[in-house]
Amino acid sequence: MNAETLETELHRRAAEVHTYLDSWFASLQEERGNAMGRLFESMAYSALGPGKRFRPVLALLAGESLKTPIMKTLPWAAAVEMVHTYSLIHDDLPCMDDDDERRGRPTNHKAFDEATALLAGDALLTEAFGLIGEAYSGLGTTAGKLVSVLAQAAGAQGMVGGQSLDLAAEKAGRVSLEDLERIHELKTGRLIRAAVEGAAIVAEAPAKTVAAFAQYGARLGLAFQIADDILDSAQDGQDGRSYIAHLGLEGTREILASVSEEARVALNEIPHAHPALYALIDWNQNREK
């Protein structure tokens, strides 16, 4: 699959996720009226704003690999995107990364205010679990499994824990290679892993297939962070919290190739894996931005 075809595949599925989220927000507003006011506007501002929707798109591709109807996977994909959006809102706050702009627009706390942004993130996180419970309550233990996967990806064992380690590393100015991989695994990799792992759970796939998707997502997530390190070093120079600082450019490229191959090996364990899942590995390994 060439880059142009891959982009088309990703864009089409991102549009499906956006449409679903837009409908979900419309239903929420109809149900609760104007009671949410500015909070609702803040939630929608970030959740429905521009973005690639990479994580939910991965979930849809995993679901398609397992022949799952898209409407069965979409609630899970949307919940993953809501959790990702919450994390971005909170990451941008002055007490975290203190960013004023994201995706060409003012960050949430700049468009609204810090308190509203904080609450919007909180609301998106909790509503994501409500969406899972409502959508999958009729599928036996599926809802409970999905809640567990997403909670681990988002909490102290995942994004929150990774952000905490990253803030500590930023203060120290340098981090060990082992801790660097741990930060990337928790802060970024866990939710990417959860996206595809959860889609396999929705499909009621065998445990071996669920594990293969989890491994694919984990290695792909790490590969994305390593590629980002390479690109960031070209733009901003070396950082003590990067693979480049530890291994140099060539060593980092070797690690990227190795981790990318691990993602391919995991995908090979999945019958009829969508070609776009393979293409994403190759695209990331060779991307220039």
CA–CA–CA angle 237, 241, 246 (5° rounding): 80
| Residue-wise pLDDT tens digits, 27-70 | 888 877 666 789 999 999 999 999 899 999 999 999 999 999 99
DSSP sequence for 19-63 = HHHHHHHHHHHHHHGGGSHHHHHHHHHHHTSS---HHHHHHHHHH
The yes-or-no verdict on residue 215 having pLDDT over 60 is yes
Residue 157 φ then ψ, to 5°: -90, 0
Give this prediction's pTM: 0.94
**What pLDDT does 117 receive?**
97
| Residue-wise pLDDT tens digits, 139-174 | 889 999 999 999 999 999 999 999 999 989 888 877
Q: Which domains does the chain have, with CATH numbers?
A: 3-205 (1.10.600.10)
